[in-house]
């Protein structure tokens, strides 16, 4: 199950849709289900775009580290 469906508001909306079906509100249940699906789609699209942005930023920034220890002769080695 996608993460977009694993939240308290979505569970409450699912319960509301089920209750609407039990009380004869088929149109209400369909509208609630439509809102849940639309929310999941928007959440998935937003998360995918954020992941693409993070990957593209990672290609721009190459982390480097400087060695600040001492060599056996007591001198610092220059970075390579």
Q: What is the pLDDT of residues 8-56, one digit of tens each?
A: 888 888 888 889 999 988 998 999 889 988 988 998 899 899 999 988 8
- CA neighbor of 78 nearest in space, from 62, 64, 66, 65: 66
Question: pLDDT tens digit string along 64-80?
Answer: 777 666 655 555 555 56
Burial 30-69 (b: 16+ CB within 10 A, else e): eebbeebeebeeebeeeeeeeeeeeeeeeeeeeeeeeeee
Query: What per-residue confidence (pLDDT) applies to 74?
Result: 53
Query: What per-residue confidence (pLDDT) applies to 27?
Result: 92
């Amino acid at each position: 199950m996608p993460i977009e469906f694993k939240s308290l508001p979505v569970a409450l909306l699912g319960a509301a849709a089920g209750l609407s079906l039990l009380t004869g509100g088929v149109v209400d249940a369909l509208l609630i289900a439509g809102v849940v699906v639309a929310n999941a789609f928007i959440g998935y699209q937003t998360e995918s775009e954020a992941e693409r942005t993070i990957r593209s930023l990672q290609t721009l920034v190459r982390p480097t580290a400087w060695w600040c220890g001492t060599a056996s002769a007591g001198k610092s080695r220059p970075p390579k």
